[in-house]
């Protein structure tokens, strides 16, 4: 065991993969000389050289498209968008090229690429730098979508993502980068599509991911003191989704809540709630609850921003409503 | 007068049946003897025939519902006849729930999502499922969920309420344990086991449930003893091989069935059943033969096995086993055993303690044939084939020495196969 911040763990995972496979390259804004705004690639330029660690202009459409082309020709690029919000200017190479190429060429072309991007509210970054756009990506068939919450998961999942032959959108919460946690020594992988039961419980299932895992665990402690035993599931990956873990938990507790930081309308919670009511209707003791961000633009004002997205007290309150106690 | 169509009892162990398919619709004309619906029991699918002419007036039990034996499935009568009027005299007999058992879910009691007064009942899907499993009439409950919805805890509270009442009633301090056991009630106590990663669940039902019930009852009721005896089957195997080369193939099990039937004739003390404080001495050697199925276990019966020659016995055993596997046994073909044989030899089992198939007093477990080195009288070492037989018997009726003598008879027959045939 060693203790690393999430950003250092991501750095370590990326570093191990670059050492292991010379086809792994990184590119994005401020990735080389500066070593990334969150210091993910610090020292990489010296170690791997300018052909594998590439500074790009502020031109997401250009370098994302270029990276997709590199992946089609056999490299394994790890692209960083400085914020997931910037997907707006480079969606076509992701949605219409990377996601579709393997299918449309009958498997002749693979696109082994990872798109890394920070997500999340709470940093007073206002409307264009605070979104959680997981739902947007999960709606596009052909993309895998991964959202780690811990340092250990971030490293193990990133390594699996880099080794995936299909495009992976890898979303990192910017307020978790500095969080220090124990991670296993040596090389390890965490498979995509396997949820992690963070806290077993029998009264209520809280399904969540990314930073809301911590808020949910905090809420679960509060609930526990009130006699409500909540199970917290960290999905870790949204596509593929660990349906078996969800099923087992729902069948155990009969009460479910999905907690997400993204907007409520059309969110992941809506999708999971729909699946649960179709597949597990007879196991439900109450309608599936959603705790999500309000359907508004992220405010710049700190009090307003805090009111916009879920906090532990919102989860506790929702649990009381759900269980009617 | 309308005539009830009732769930028939198609075998000793049948307690309830499932309505598989209605072959007639309400209003159809029906002749006596005509099949009107199909039901499935734990073992078989059967047709229920009309007992009278008329039209199908009403279907009470919908397809898929479980109905206890003698429970009402529907009514046959004259066109336009009012069942409620007819039923006033006839239907007052409640649908025969076996005495001293937990209330059974009856389709007609549980289904309404609307009370008699027409008020809609708010209940969660999970609560409704649990209520149906436990046979609790939720329409009379008060919900404590949001907006008065009945949720799981309301059903569980309703279930434990009568149990609490039972607990308070008895005066003697020592009797606290007994009513508790009665209240929890079943041979399948709910333990609320934690599911671990990857676990799945299924309902205990059909044949699996019957096997579970029968094994449980036998294991709990009978002080059973198992004694294992070894038989040298070298000669039997040689004879079997010789016959095989002549084109006459008999399974090892055929020889054993024949030997057991013969031995039972010689030891009538093994052919007994206990009924209360009465011992029944069985007149017939009816050999039950355990047959493994994908869904569970069934024991077809070879009647008067002692009167059949080896060839007839072999043919009968094969026929029963085949039809058991394809679900084509008649309901009287797995009833009436007086002794049972369970053969696990083909799976390499060296010894086991089978559970007695009630109401038999004993069951013979047949184990595998294996090679053993034997020192002959002249000091040479030769290879022999041996087989163990494990007899489990009801020690209330049979003592160890008596059972051992019976086993010795079987052993002697197996060691001298010509005696089996003579």
Lowest mean pLDDT among B37-41, B109-113, B304-308: B109-113
- Do B18 and B96 belong to one domain? yes
CA angle at A41 for the pair A40 and A47, rounded to the nearest 5°: 150
Residues A12, A17, A29, A60: which is the catalytic one? A60
Lowest mean pLDDT among A100-104, B11-15, B20-24, B397-401: B11-15
Most A CBs within 10 Å, among B122, B123, B124, B203, to test the A interface? B124
pLDDT at B373 over 80: yes
Kindly report the nearest CA distance between residue A282 and chain B, in angstroms. Answer: 5
Judge whether A201 is closer than 8 Å to chain B, CB to CB. no
Instruction: List residues of chain B with CB under 8 Å from any CB of chain A.
Output: 124-129, 144-146, 149, 151-152, 194-195, 197-199, 201
Q: Which is more confidently placed, B236 or B294?
A: B236
- B405 is a domain residue: yes
- Do B233 and B282 belong to one domain? yes
Residue extent(s) of CATH 3.40.50.920 domains in chain A:
196-323
| B193 CB burial (10 A radius; 0-12, 13-18, 19+) | exposed
Q: CB-based contacts of A19: which residues, under 8 Å, 6+ apart?
A: none
**Contact (CB<8Å) B195/A251:** yes
Residue of A229, A225, A226, A235 whose CA lies nearest to A204 = A229
Kindly report the nearest CA distance between residue A308 and chain B, in angstroms. Answer: 26
Cα–Cα distance for residue pair B252/A110, rounded to 1 Å: 60
Cα–Cα distance for residue pair A111/A323, rounded to 1 Å: 46
Summarised one tens digit per residue, pLDDT across range A221-274 is 999 999 999 999 999 999 999 999 999 999 999 999 999 999 999 999 999 999
Residue B155 has what pLDDT?
92
Of A248, A254, A281, the CB nearest to B199: A248
CA angle at B385 for the pair B419 and B402, rounded to the nearest 5°: 55
- Do B148 and B116 belong to one domain? yes
Cα–Cα distance for residue pair A196/A215, rounded to 1 Å: 16
Judge whether A37 is closer than 8 Å to chain B, CB to CB. no
pLDDT grade, residue B172 (50/70/90)? very low
Cα–Cα distance for residue pair A209/A267, rounded to 1 Å: 13
Judge whether A248 is closer than 8 Å to chain B, CB to CB. yes
- B194 is a domain residue: no
- Do B319 and B415 belong to one domain? yes
CB A90 within 8 A of CB A65: yes
Q: Which residues pair with B391 in a beta bridge?
A: B227, B364
pTM metric for this prediction: 0.53
To the nearest 10°, report the CA torsion of B397, B403, B409, B414: 110
**Mean pLDDT of the region B69-89:** 73
CB B135 within 8 A of CB B105: yes
pLDDT grade, residue A322 (50/70/90)? very high
Residue B135 has what pLDDT?
84
Summarised one tens digit per residue, pLDDT across range B254-281 is 999 999 999 999 999 999 999 999 999 9
Q: CB-based contacts of B399: which residues, under 8 Å, 6+ apart?
A: none
Of B129, B149, B151, the CB nearest to A282: B129
Cα–Cα distance for residue pair A210/A141, rounded to 1 Å: 22
Most B CBs within 10 Å, among A285, A317, A320, A325, to test the B interface? A285
Dmax of chain B from CA atoms? 93
- B153 is a domain residue: yes
* Element at B414 (helix H, strand E): helix B400-415
Q: CB-based contacts of B272: which residues, under 8 Å, 6+ apart?
A: B279, B280, B281, B282, B361, B397, B398
**Contact (CB<8Å) A285/B145:** yes
Residue A261 has what pLDDT?
98
Q: CB-based contacts of A50: which residues, under 8 Å, 6+ apart?
A: A32
**Contact (CB<8Å) B146/A244:** no
CB B321 within 8 A of CB B300: yes
**Mean pLDDT of the region A275-281:** 95
Lowest mean pLDDT among B160-164, B341-345, B389-393: B160-164
Note down the domain range covering B26.
3-102
- B51 is a domain residue: yes
CATH of the domain at B362: 3.30.559.10
Of B149, B152, B194, the CB nearest to A254: B152
The DSSP 8-state label assigned to residue B404 in this structure reads H
Kindly report the nearest CA distance between residue A50 and chain B, in angstroms. Answer: 46
**Contact (CB<8Å) A285/B195:** no
**Contact (CB<8Å) B129/A244:** no
Q: Where are the alpha helices (DSSP H) in B8-106?
A: 83-90
Interchain CB contacts (distance < 8 Å): A and B: 45
Summarised one tens digit per residue, pLDDT across range B95-150 is 333 434 444 444 334 444 555 455 678 899 999 989 988 888 888 888 998 888 99
**Contact (CB<8Å) B124/A281:** no
Number of domains in chain B: 3
What percent of chain B shows pLDDT beyond 90? 46
**Mean pLDDT of the region A209-215:** 98
Residue A179 has what pLDDT?
95
- B189 is a domain residue: no
**Contact (CB<8Å) B195/A282:** no
Residue B62 has what pLDDT?
86
Q: Which residues of B touch A324 (CB under 8 A)?
A: 144-146, 149, 151
CB A235 within 8 A of CB A210: no
Q: Which two tokens stand for residue B420?
A: 């089996």
Judge whether A285 is closer than 8 Å to chain B, CB to CB. yes
Kindly report the nearest CA distance between residue A279 and chain B, in angstroms. Answer: 12
Phi then psi for residue B256, to 5 deg, are: -65, -45
Q: What is the CATH number of domain A196-323?
A: 3.40.50.920
Cα–Cα distance for residue pair B411/B389, rounded to 1 Å: 8
Fold for the domain defined by A2-183: Rossmann fold (3.40.50)
- B215 is a domain residue: yes
pLDDT at B342 over 70: yes
The count of C-alpha atoms lying within 13 angstroms of the C-alpha of B366, restricted to the half-sphere facing its C-beta, is 22
Residue A153 has what pLDDT?
98
Query: What ipTM goes with this model?
Result: 0.77
**Contact (CB<8Å) B127/A285:** yes
- B145 is a domain residue: yes
pLDDT grade, residue B65 (50/70/90)? confident
Q: Calculate the average pLDDT of chain B.
A: 83
Rg of the Cα trace of chain A?
A: 20
The DSSP 8-state label assigned to residue B300 in this structure reads -
CATH of the domain at B96: 2.40.50.100
Cα–Cα distance for residue pair B28/B23, rounded to 1 Å: 10
Of A202, A245, A254, the CB nearest to B126: A254
The count of C-alpha atoms lying within 13 angstroms of the C-alpha of A322, restricted to the half-sphere facing its C-beta, is 27
Residue of B19, B28, B69, B11 whose CA lies nearest to B47 = B19
Q: Which is more confidently placed, A42 or B3?
A: A42
Cα–Cα distance for residue pair A52/B232, rounded to 1 Å: 78
Cα–Cα distance for residue pair B25/B30, rounded to 1 Å: 10
- Do B130 and B230 belong to one domain? no
Q: Which residues of A touch B194 (CB under 8 A)?
A: 200, 202, 252
Q: Which residues pair with A267 in a beta bridge?
A: none
Residue B186 has what pLDDT?
67
Kindly report the nearest CA distance between residue B412 and chain A, in angstroms. Answer: 56
Kindly report the nearest CA distance between residue B129 and chain A, in angstroms. Answer: 6
- Do B240 and B321 belong to one domain? yes
User: What Cα–Cα distance (Å) separates residue A242 from each residue in A162, A170, A208, A235, A262?
Assistant: 20, 17, 12, 7, 20
- Do B60 and B163 belong to one domain? no
Q: Which residues of A touch B199 (CB under 8 A)?
A: 248
- Determine the 3-state secondary structure of A160 from DSSP: helix
Q: Does A60 participate in catalysis according to the annotation?
A: yes
Q: With left for phi above 0 and alpha for psi between -120 and 50, is residue B171 left, alpha or beta? A: alpha
Give me the sheet containing B3-6, strands edge to edge. Answer: B3-6, B72-77, B54-59, B29-30
Residue B173 has what pLDDT?
38
Q: Calculate the average pLDDT of chain A.
A: 96
- Do B302 and B230 belong to one domain? yes
pLDDT at A39 over 80: yes
Residue B93 has what pLDDT?
37
- Do B82 and B228 belong to one domain? no
Kindly report the nearest CA distance between residue A286 and chain B, in angstroms. Answer: 6
Q: Which residues of A touch B149 (CB under 8 A)?
A: 286, 324
* Element at B389 (helix H, strand E): strand B381-394
- B364 is a domain residue: yes
Residue of B354, B356, B365 whose CA lies nearest to B338 = B356
What percent of chain B shows pLDDT beyond 70? 84
Closest-CA residue in chain B for A242? Answer: B198
CB A38 within 8 A of CB A65: no
Q: Does B395 participate in catalysis according to the annotation?
A: yes
CB B237 within 8 A of CB B417: no
Residue B119 has what pLDDT?
62
- Do B302 and B350 belong to one domain? yes
Q: Which of B151, B184, B217 is the last residue of a domain?
A: B184
Cα–Cα distance for residue pair B30/B8, rounded to 1 Å: 18
Cα–Cα distance for residue pair A60/A262, rounded to 1 Å: 23
pLDDT at B241 over 70: yes
- Do B393 and B264 belong to one domain? yes
């Amino acid at each position: 065991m060693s203790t690393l911040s999430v950003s250092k763990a991501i750095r370590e995972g990326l570093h191990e993969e670059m050492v292991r496979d010379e086809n792994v390259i990184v590119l994005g804004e401020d990735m080389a000389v500066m070593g990334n705004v969150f210091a993910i690639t610090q020292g990489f330029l010296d170690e791997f050289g300018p052909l594998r660690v590439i500074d790009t202009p502020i031109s997401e459409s250009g370098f994302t498209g270029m990276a997709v082309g590199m992946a089609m020709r056999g490299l394994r690029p790890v692209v960083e968008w400085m914020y997931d919000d910037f997907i707006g200017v480079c969606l076509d190479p992701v949605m219409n090229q990377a996601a579709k190429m393997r299918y449309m060429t009958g498997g002749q072309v693979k696109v082994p690429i990872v798109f890394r991007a920070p997500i999340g509210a709470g940093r007073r970054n206002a409307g264009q730098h605070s979104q959680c756009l997981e739902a947007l990506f999960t709606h596009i068939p052909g993309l895998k979508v991964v959202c780690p919450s811990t340092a250990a998961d971030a490293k193990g999942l990133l390594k699996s993502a880099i080794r995936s032959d299909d495009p992976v959108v890898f979303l990192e919460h910017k307020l978790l980068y500095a969080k220090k946690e124990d991670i296993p020594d040596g090389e390890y992988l965490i498979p995509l599509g396997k949820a992690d039961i963070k806290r077993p419980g029998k009264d209520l299932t809280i399904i969540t991911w990314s930073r809301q895992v911590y808020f949910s665990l905090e809420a679960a402690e509060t609930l526990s003191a009130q006699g409500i035993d909540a199970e917290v599931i960290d999905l870790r990956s949204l596509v593929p989704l660990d349906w078996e873990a969800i099923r087992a938990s729902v069948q155990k507790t009969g009460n479910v809540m999905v907690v997400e930081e993204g907007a409520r309308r059309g969110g992941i919670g809506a999708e999971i709630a729909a699946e649960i009511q179709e597949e597990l209707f007879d196991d439900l003791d109450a309608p599936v609850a959603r705790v999500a961000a309000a359907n508004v633009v992220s405010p710049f004002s700190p009090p307003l921003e805090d009111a916009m997205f879920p906090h532990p007290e919102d989860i506790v309150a929702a649990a009381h409503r759900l269980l009617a106690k | 007068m309308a005539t009830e169509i009732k769930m028939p009892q198609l075998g000793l162990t049948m307690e309830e049946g499932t309505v598989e398919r209605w072959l007639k619709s309400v209003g159809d004309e029906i002749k006596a003897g005509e099949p009107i619906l199909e039901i499935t029991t734990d073992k078989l699918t059967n047709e229920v025939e009309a007992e009278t002419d008329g039209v199908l007036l009403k279907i009470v039990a919908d397809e898929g519902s479980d109905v206890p034996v003698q429970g009402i499935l529907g009514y046959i009568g004259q066109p336009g006849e009012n069942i409620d009027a007819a039923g006033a005299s006839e239907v007052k007999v409640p649908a025969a729930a076996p005495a001293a058992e937990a209330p059974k879910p009856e389709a007609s009691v549980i289904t309404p999502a609307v009370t008699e007064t027409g008020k809609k009942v708010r209940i969660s899907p999970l609560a409704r499922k649990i209520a149906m499993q436990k046979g609790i009439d939720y329409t009379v409950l008060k919900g404590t969920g949001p907006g008065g919805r009945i949720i799981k805890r309301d059903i569980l509270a309703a279930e434990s309420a009568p149990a609490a009442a039972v607990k308070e009633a008895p005066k003697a301090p020592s009797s606290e344990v007994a009513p508790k056991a009665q209240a929890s009630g079943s041979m399948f106590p709910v333990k609320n086991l934690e599911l671990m990663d990857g676990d799945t669940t299924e309902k205990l039902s059909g044949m699996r449930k019957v096997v579970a019930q029968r094994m449980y009852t036998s294991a709990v009721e009978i002080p059973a003893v198992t004694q294992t005896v070894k038989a040298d089957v070298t000669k039997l195997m040689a004879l079997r091989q010789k016959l095989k080369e002549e084109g006459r193939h008999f399974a090892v099990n055929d020889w054993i069935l024949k030997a057991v039937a013969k031995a039972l004739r010689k030891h009538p003390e093994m052919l007994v059943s206990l009924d209360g404080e009465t011992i029944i001495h069985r007149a017939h050697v009816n050999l039950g033969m355990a047959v493994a199925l994908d869904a569970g276990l069934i024991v077809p019966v070879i009647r008067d096995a002692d009167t059949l020659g080896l060839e007839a016995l072999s043919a009968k055993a094969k026929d029963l086993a085949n039809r058991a596997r394809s679900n084509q046994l008649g309901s009287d073909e797995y009833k009436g055993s007086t002794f049972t044989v369970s053969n696990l030899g083909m799976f390499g089992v060296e010894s086991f303690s089978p559970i007695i198939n009630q109401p038999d007093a004993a069951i013979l477990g047949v184990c595998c044939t294996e090679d053993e080195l034997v020192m002959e009288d002249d000091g040479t070492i030769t290879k022999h084939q041996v087989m163990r037989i494990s007899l489990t018997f009801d020690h209330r009726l049979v003592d160890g020495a008596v059972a051992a003598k019976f086993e010795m008879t079987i052993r002697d027959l197996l060691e001298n196969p010509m005696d089996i045939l003579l």
